[in-house]
Structure 1
Amino acid sequence: MIKADGKVFILNTKNTTYAFRVMETGQLEHLYYGRLIHEDEPSVLNEKRAFAPGNTVTYNPEHPELTLEDVRLETSAIGKGDFREPMVEVICADGSSTLDFVYDSYQVINCKPELQGLPSSYDEDDNAKTLEVTLKDKNHGFKLILSYSIFEECDVITRSARFVNSSEESVKLTRMLSMVLDYDKPGMKITSFHGSWTREMNKADVVLTAGKLVNSSFTGTSSNRCNPFFMVSEADTTETDGDVWGFNLVYSGNHYSASEVSPWGKTRVAYGINPQNFSWTLEAGEEFQAPEAVITYSGDGYRQMSLNMHDFVREHITRGTWKYKERPILINSWEASYFDFTDKSLVKLAKVAKDTGVELFVMDDGWFGERNDDKRALGDWDIVNKKKLPGGLEGLAKKINDLGLMFGLWVEPEMINVDSELYRKHPDWAIDIPGMDHAEGRNQRLLDLCNPEVVDYMIEAMSEVFATPGLSYIKWDMNRNFSDYYSKYLPAEKQQEVSHRYVLGFYRLLRTLAEKFPDILMEGCASGGNRFDLGALCYYPQIWASDNTDAVSRLTIQNGYSYAYPQSTYTAHVSACPNHQTLRVTPIESRFAVASFGVLGYELNLNDAKAEDIASVKAQIELYKKYRKTLQFGDFYRLKNGNIVEWSIVDKNKNTAVTMLMQREIMAGEQYLRIDQAGLDNDSKYHFFGRKLEYNLKGFGDLVNTVAPVHIKQDGVLHNVIAKFVKMPGESEDFVASGDTLNNVGVKLAQSFVGTGYNEQVRYFPDFGARLYFAEKI
């Protein structure tokens, strides 16, 4: 709901209120963002001013009490006394940079408009409303249009801004962020998510009492170094209690967020496109659209903030055929064969996969041109490697489809190798600086998506690939960070526009293909999570979360993603051990338990797998299919995070819950463990139970000799024979309890093994051990 009268603006969602006003001098003063309030007299929220602090710049002689440096503002620029992070910076035709934006007008739009050239949130039911406030620069006449869209049920507000050059001369934007938000206190906790390749989404907390904290990317993507999502909270906020604000950006390029404490104890958050190496020239009448920022507030801790964000992403970011369609379980050929495969080896793998219950077979890199390693052929999408695939893509697709499987394919459309036919024809299409050495990444260069001709060509080339009969899935990869920013398509004075123009070209390419092939499931990938953001999720319903498939590493990675992104958006695979990224060995059931809390897939060479592993995969897939809708689209709860990690997912009707426990390291002598639950209906009864598993006798080592009638040599012939036929029974958990009890008390599980005995009442829970538990409403 929007209340607006040209003086005060109040934006209400189901549980939150956002308020600001027009000051006497025309600036917009931020008043409040937090729990829903019903204030008929908003002046109670105004800060009272009598005299400006010493050593400050006062706004004008008529208001000597006002310094913009000590006002919570809705937008800010430089030149009028506010020395904090600005939202907009320019170089005007006369060389000056001062801007003075004051209120001009407003309008309320009864829908959620699209943004020009950029993906953004949407509302299929047209329940969202949008407030647009137009500000006008007193010096040059530029306009700045601030947009606020209200998604009441998700408790989300989105913000964006549009700069209009309504003067008669050109102006150069050197900073154009999407929003600023000012708090009236210091000491806020800033939580951001950092990492690198195979180490995505590590949570980091900083309590900011003074100074400035910047989280940004300059890789050309949203980056695995620092995801665009971050949180601001009270220092003592917990998972279930306290004030927290979540921020995300619908943008796939260089992003920037700065949190800064002023000398007077106010905290400013500035957020948008990274201004580093950025400028954009606007001629008279032209305008620039900043990306959309997403903000949500929860007074009930991080959990509710995450649930708000998850609902918003599902309802208002992801779209199309696969928005709420259950995602297929796939097997990917990469870790099974890398570049070394043939038509026959792929079909053999697909046959075994089909027998386990896999639904989608994906051929990864290596199917085109002379692509036998990562040094050549990127760009040669029209040349299928007939040595590997004599029948071409169509022939392989038919063989896979005839097995009863969907067929999927890996592509990397944004890249080019110097050793490729495309580069030899069009060296001007690569991003590099003529006559200068180029810093390479993974032996490849970026195609210049600033150039419309390149985008048009790649739309045509990918359309031919996407039109392969029988093709149902595309894995869209991007394995290269930006370096040597330079477009041979652009003149010298526009080279600081390259990073943003590339993103616009990427969106045009992706949007065109998504609209042209709406039934193909596209999965994003950028060396794993190097472009995991809301902009990409407008076109990919799911993204490969990390190239790291190690179950222990994935605990941290997937836990990090869960703060902002629903589990339907990140994919997770069960892979071989020793793991290809860490060499760690983990039980196959633990690998499955972690992977099932994303969109499940497999990355195993089933052709070489043991019979017992194939049997495990078959049982896992059967179980996952039974609970797939809950696991992919239910509400996600973080319940423990430490040596013991516990996650739970509850379906929207509160009929079913699936809960995972995983232990990183066994702690000697700790025999008791309680499983927590959340989100169940307090007034209903539930059947709570665990999986009934059996364990390899060899996991108990030499202890077998305490019960064996003859001595058994460890890993000897007799030991292996016995282990093949004799399994150790796992513990049983099966009872009925109320949702109230499960939510508030939890379940005390069977004791774990502590070295004094083992039977069916004892939990075998070694290093990296995991369990899945289920609660079904009676």
Structure 2
Amino acid sequence: MSIFQLKKEQRLVLETKETAYVIDIHKHGHLQHVYWGEKLSAKVDYEALQSQVIPHSSFEATRGVMGYDYIPWGEMVYTEPTLKTSSESGERGFKWEYAGLHIDAEDSEKQQVSLKLQESLGRYQVELKYEVFEQDDIIARWQTITNINGEPLHIEAARSMQVSFPPAQMYNFSHLAGKWVGEFQLIHEEVSEGRKTIDSRRGNTSHQANPWFAIDQGAGEDSGEVWFGHLAYSGNWDIHVEKDSHGFVHVCGGINDFDFMKVLQPGEPFQTPVFYLGYTSKGFTGMSHQAHRFQRKNIMPVPHRAAERKVLYNSWEATYFDVSEENQKALADEAAAIGCELFVVDDGWFGKRNSDDSSLGDWEVNHDKFPNGLDPLISYVKEKGMDFGIWLEPEMVNEDSRLFQEHPDWVYHFATHEQTTARNQLVLQFGREDVRAYVKKVLDQLLGSSDISFIKWDMNRSLSEVGRMGTGVEEQKQLWHEHVEGLYDVFDYIKYTYPHVLVETCSGGGGRIDLGVLQRTDQFWTSDNTDARDRLSIQRGCSYAYHQKFMMCWVTDAPNWLNQRTVPLKYRFHSAMMGGLGIGGNLHEWTEAEKEESARWITFYKHIRPVIQEGLTYRLTASHPKKETEIMQYVSEEGSRSVVFLLENGLSFGPHPVQVKLKGLDENARYYSSDGITATGSFWMNHGLIWQLKEEYQCEIIELSKLDE
């Protein structure tokens, strides 16, 4: 049994295959975080765990200073609260009492326990949910707050997760930071006294931060304890890491309480998004493998979970808004000739769309560009052996559109404030049922009448002036969360009604990537930055949190549009083959030699694709202190195949050899490498390969195959 109680039912133990998570339930429902780490050998060991409490002074809680697993606001605990509520009449700081727990019947995959806290007069209830994915070593957490029979309850903060770490010499905090065209930069810093917050207040996950964290005590890539978590939410979120004056480190996260409110009427519940937590003693590589396996098994939507991601061609950088049936067919000829499997028409196919200042919201085909609609192009693409996909941005509207002229009240706006446009567009209120009904009708007209296999769903600006005319402040503070719920409703509609359609999430690149949106979409556009060298750090940082099968990477033109860097085609392909491969350049301007080379690389990618998209990732660069290379290794789960990418990334002071010790192989088996060497896995992992690093943009792919005995 993976969930059980000890110490006269005051201690709750959650066990996975290799880990354990322990909580003590104190008087008045105070939940103390006792232990999170390696699974212990016997129940007596859990009985012996010491719950650390530091008695102090009248300036602290009378029960002492401790690490909490849940913090209701109003008592003498001054870290970020897990729950903050008030009543309609102004009552604040409710007294919560423990009201028992319920353990669901165990099945082969997961088990759930609900801890109930009830307000002392029985008007309101909190259920803390812990779901144990035993074989995956993951614990999911969330809470449900219910107004049983009281006056309207105002929820001002409701976070999904609170954990605490006992006093120790040192803890490190890892997170991902960045900006548009510079996402997923890994930040690794020591936790010092005070509070560190990462968050988004933009209405989407954001380019600037990502709802993932890791805590360690000096772990490396291959060893050391790492505690980590992923929030499954695509709106305003926050994660707080705080070290108090006694040495406890508190971590909490969930929906951002910035401009947040949820009012519960009698009988109404509110469920927070899920926070997925994991622990490993196998360093950051072990952390990534654990998270990636869980995502592949439990997060990726079922219809396309097992399918290989096809090599796509996207027309954006070739034609921009100047799309037409004729030029798209010409590009389809070129894309099919080099081996692409999916052809995607990007922005510009609808309404009067010739620039970014018109027609968002008017999702009818532009008949000047496509006189007979999209079907002739779709048929042409299908005859070329490719699937057909299309770009959409349904959350947005231009003022120069029929939709805005008919429904100006559908956009977010303040009563006395001019609306802010960004990229010449405004944001639709996706919490409105009539807005979603309109979008679903558009999707039905597109997907129900044409053979479309792929949607690229974009979001090219963040939310602002999040208000609605004719409603009170409390109702308007609920709009942020309602937008996310509305978005999920539409994505769920697509997956239910059109399960054959593969959906790519995009928000100007990496602005909306999290486990909430990835439960409903199949892949993500990692960054609008397609420079092959910049992409190396973006993709490496992304690998700490997300499985590479989600991650789309393109080969585009040189010099690159962003920084004018000219990178050889071979290097561009190698950089883009470490996830789902796409081509985004203007193939009409590529030489015949470049197209022939591209066809060879695409053929080779299809050969190694199963290892890349389904295998385990090893960041070999992390063990090279000079960081003049980017070396990534992928190993199939059963260890029979491996692919190693070696790319120069800052060579200095002349040529020299680089020793590359591989990982994840069967040490007793023999492997044959594509450069002609046969040796055991032990050799490859202890001696490795010697790469002669000689010049800028040097790159190579080494493939290893296990030999039958």
TM-score bucket of the superposed structures, by smaller chain = over 0.9
Aligned equivalents of 1:100 and 1:770: distance in 2?
63
1:697 is matched with: none
- Unaligned runs of at least 5 residues, structure 1: 60-65, 112-124, 690-732, 754-765
Whether the 8 Å CA contact 1:80–1:100 is kept in 2: the answer is no
Aligned-partner residue type, residue 563 of structure 1 = Y
Structure 1 segment 378-457 matched on structure 2, within 5 A? 378-381=360-363, 383-457=364-438
Whether the 8 Å CA contact 1:28–1:103 is kept in 2: the answer is no
Q: Residues 423-442 of structure 1: CA distance to partner in whole angstroms, max 9, x if unpaired?
A: 11111111122442112111
Say which SS state the counterpart of residue 665 (structure 1) adopts. coil
Deviates more, 1:367-376 or 1:95-104: 95-104
Say which SS state the counterpart of residue 181 (structure 2) adopts. coil
Q: Residues 77-106 of structure 1: CA distance to partner in whole angstroms, max 9, x if unpaired?
A: 222211111111112234232133332111
Whether 1:568 and 2:549 are equivalent positions in the alignment is: yes
Aligned-partner residue type, residue 35 of structure 1 = E
What's the offset of the Cα at 1:238? 0.9
Alpha-carbon spacing, 1:674–1:7, altered in 2? closer, same or farther (3 Å): same
Aligned equivalents of 1:43 and 1:58: distance in 2?
25
Structure 1 segment 269-418 matched on structure 2, within 5 A? 269-381=251-363, 383-418=364-399
Q: Residues 436-493 of structure 1: CA distance to partner in whole angstroms, max 9, x if unpaired?
A: 2112111101111111111111111112112242211111111110111113474443
Say which SS state the counterpart of residue 490 (structure 2) adopts. helix
Structure 1 segment 50-199 matched on structure 2, within 5 A? 52-59=55-62, 66-67=63-64, 70-110=65-105, 127-138=109-120, 141-185=123-167, 187-199=170-182
Whether 1:607 and 2:594 are equivalent positions in the alignment is: no
Aligned equivalents of 2:30 and 2:416: distance in 1?
49
Aligned-partner residue type, residue 183 of structure 2 = E
1:679 is matched with: 664
Aligned-partner residue type, residue 441 of structure 1 = A
Aligned-partner residue type, residue 293 of structure 1 = F
1:211 is matched with: 194
Aligned equivalents of 1:96 and 1:205: distance in 2?
42
Structure 1 segment 492-641 matched on structure 2, within 5 A? 492-641=473-622
What's the offset of the Cα at 1:680? 1.0
2:468 is matched with: 487
Aligned equivalents of 2:266 and 2:553: distance in 1?
49
What's the offset of the Cα at 1:48? 5.8
Aligned equivalents of 1:546 and 1:438: distance in 2?
28
What's the offset of the Cα at 1:668? 3.1
Q: Residues 36-58 of structure 1: CA distance to partner in whole angstroms, max 9, x if unpaired?
A: 11242334223365x83113344
Whether 1:740 and 2:669 are equivalent positions in the alignment is: no
Aligned residues: 698
Aligned-partner residue type, residue 231 of structure 1 = A
Say which SS state the counterpart of residue 161 (structure 1) adopts. strand
Alpha-carbon spacing, 1:636–1:752, altered in 2? closer, same or farther (3 Å): closer
Deviates more, 1:307-316 or 1:87-96: 87-96
Aligned equivalents of 1:184 and 1:431: distance in 2?
45
Q: Residues 389-431 of structure 1: CA distance to partner in whole angstroms, max 9, x if unpaired?
A: 1121112111211222111100111111110011111111111
Aligned-partner residue type, residue 12 of structure 2 = F
Q: Residues 514-550 of structure 1: CA distance to partner in whole angstroms, max 9, x if unpaired?
A: 1100001111111000001111111111000001111
Say which SS state the counterpart of residue 211 (structure 2) adopts. strand
Aligned equivalents of 1:748 and 1:140: distance in 2?
70
Say which SS state the counterpart of residue 391 (structure 1) adopts. coil
Q: Residues 290-349 of structure 1: CA distance to partner in whole angstroms, max 9, x if unpaired?
A: 000011111111110110000111111112221110111011000111111321111111
What's the offset of the Cα at 1:633? 0.9
Whether the 8 Å CA contact 2:648–2:693 is kept in 1: the answer is no
Say which SS state the counterpart of residue 444 (structure 2) adopts. helix
1:659 is matched with: 644
Whether 1:225 and 2:208 are equivalent positions in the alignment is: yes
Aligned-partner residue type, residue 265 of structure 2 = E
The alignment's C-alpha RMSD in Å is: 1.6
Q: Residues 222-250 of structure 1: CA distance to partner in whole angstroms, max 9, x if unpaired?
A: 1111011111111x211112111111111
TM-score for both structures, normalised by structure 1: 0.88
Deviates more, 1:158-167 or 1:412-421: 158-167
Match for 2:51 among 47, 52, 65? 47
Aligned-partner residue type, residue 105 of structure 1 = G
- Unaligned runs of at least 5 residues, structure 2: none
Deviates more, 1:368-377 or 1:18-27: 18-27
Say which SS state the counterpart of residue 375 (structure 1) adopts. coil
Deviates more, 1:93-102 or 1:465-474: 93-102
1:476 is matched with: 457
Aligned equivalents of 1:671 and 1:493: distance in 2?
64
Match for 2:220 among 238, 253, 256? 238
Whether the 8 Å CA contact 1:544–1:570 is kept in 2: the answer is yes
Aligned-partner residue type, residue 216 of structure 1 = D
Percent of paired sites with the same residue: 30
Aligned equivalents of 2:43 and 2:213: distance in 1?
33
Alpha-carbon spacing, 1:175–1:338, altered in 2? closer, same or farther (3 Å): same
Aligned equivalents of 2:10 and 2:34: distance in 1?
12
Aligned equivalents of 1:426 and 1:438: distance in 2?
15
Alpha-carbon spacing, 1:74–1:595, altered in 2? closer, same or farther (3 Å): same
Say which SS state the counterpart of residue 322 (structure 1) adopts. helix
Aligned equivalents of 1:140 and 1:92: distance in 2?
14
Aligned equivalents of 1:450 and 1:405: distance in 2?
36
Alpha-carbon spacing, 1:676–1:348, altered in 2? closer, same or farther (3 Å): same
Q: Residues 64-85 of structure 1: CA distance to partner in whole angstroms, max 9, x if unpaired?
A: xx13xx1222100222211111
Whether the 8 Å CA contact 1:244–1:302 is kept in 2: the answer is yes
Alpha-carbon spacing, 1:238–1:537, altered in 2? closer, same or farther (3 Å): same
Match for 1:775 among 701, 704, 708? 704
Aligned equivalents of 2:131 and 2:3: distance in 1?
9
Aligned-partner residue type, residue 665 of structure 2 = L
Match for 2:40 among 37, 40, 53? 37
Aligned equivalents of 1:666 and 1:40: distance in 2?
55
Whether the 8 Å CA contact 1:649–1:659 is kept in 2: the answer is yes
Whether the 8 Å CA contact 2:324–2:349 is kept in 1: the answer is no
2:184 is matched with: 201
Say which SS state the counterpart of residue 613 (structure 2) adopts. helix
Aligned equivalents of 2:423 and 2:470: distance in 1?
24
What's the offset of the Cα at 1:752? 4.1
Whether the 8 Å CA contact 1:686–1:737 is kept in 2: the answer is yes
Whether the 8 Å CA contact 1:332–1:603 is kept in 2: the answer is yes
1:23 is matched with: 26
